[in-house]
């Protein structure tokens, strides 16, 4: 059990099959949304999401946000895991690609992604979901794993939908 939500306690790095990963996410997501219900401060939201997704996705070695600070640059935001790169140009890396295109980047093998930035050379796969609010990419949620192909299409969809609900245009958020 984690501090914030009720989940089976598993050591960091535990590898689960896709169906078990989906089951764990499906159990966690409503609890995460209950914790964040009514919250409008995006630093609070990003910090808490990073924490609770880190607790949930024990198959990750890094979970967190890069914030869009200009037309050309991302800067690191709230995260869990080893120290991340401080700044990422929009024309670089998986995070830059997600921010530039507004499209989720699911990368089963980071070595096959031209321009991948290796903040941690243990990372093998990555999922980056843009945070779009009022038509603009404000940040990206970056999930890294030391396992190959650690993010299925179904998981990507669950995370995309969670991000869309939490950073919904229907809510007045403070950035």
- Binding residues vs ligand SME (CB under 6 A): 62, 84-85, 88, 93-95, 116-117, 119, 123, 126, 142, 144
Give the CB-nearest residue to ligand SME.
93
Which residues neighbour 102 within 8 Å (Cβ) at sequence distance 6 or greater? 130, 132, 137
Closest distance to ligand SME from the beta carbon of 6 (Å): 28
Nearer to ligand SME, 5 or 95 (CB): 95
Q: Which run of H or E residues covers position 67?
A: strand 62-68
Q: Which two tokens stand for residue 12?
A: 């960091």
Closest distance to ligand SME from the beta carbon of 8 (Å): 26
Closest distance to ligand SME from the beta carbon of 112 (Å): 12
Closest distance to ligand SME from the beta carbon of 22 (Å): 24
The full length of the chain comes to: 175
For residues 24-49, b (16+ Cβ closer than 10 Å) or e, as one string? bbeebbebbeeebeeeeebeebbbbb
- Let me know: does 152 contact 16? Beta carbons within 8 Å: no
Closest distance to ligand SME from the beta carbon of 145 (Å): 11
Nearer to ligand SME, 42 or 80 (CB): 80
Nearer to ligand SME, 5 or 96 (CB): 96
Nearer to ligand SME, 45 or 119 (CB): 119
- Let me know: does 141 contact 131? Beta carbons within 8 Å: yes
Nearer to ligand SME, 5 or 99 (CB): 99
End-to-end CA distance of the chain: 31
């Amino acid at each position: 059990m984690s501090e914030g939500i009720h989940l089976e306690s598993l050591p960091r790095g535990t590898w689960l099959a896709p169906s078990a990963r989906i089951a764990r996410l499906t159990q966690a997501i409503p609890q995460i949304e209950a914790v964040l219900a009514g919250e409008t401060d995006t630093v609070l939201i990003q910090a808490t999401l990073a924490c609770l997704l880190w607790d949930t996705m024990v198959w990750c070695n890094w979970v967190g946000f890069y914030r869009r600070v200009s037309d050309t640059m991302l800067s690191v935001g709230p995260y869990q895991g080893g120290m991340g790169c401080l700044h990422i140009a929009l024309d670089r890396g998986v995070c830059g690609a997600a921010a530039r295109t507004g499209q989720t980047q699911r990368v089963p093998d980071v070595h096959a992604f031209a321009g991948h930035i290796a903040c941690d050379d243990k990372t093998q796969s990555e999922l980056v979901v843009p945070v779009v609010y009022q038509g603009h990419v404000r940040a990206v949620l970056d999930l890294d794993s030391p396992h190959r192909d650690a993010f299925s299409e179904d998981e990507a969809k669950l995370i995309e939908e969670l991000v869309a609900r939490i950073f919904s245009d229907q809510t007045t958020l403070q950035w």
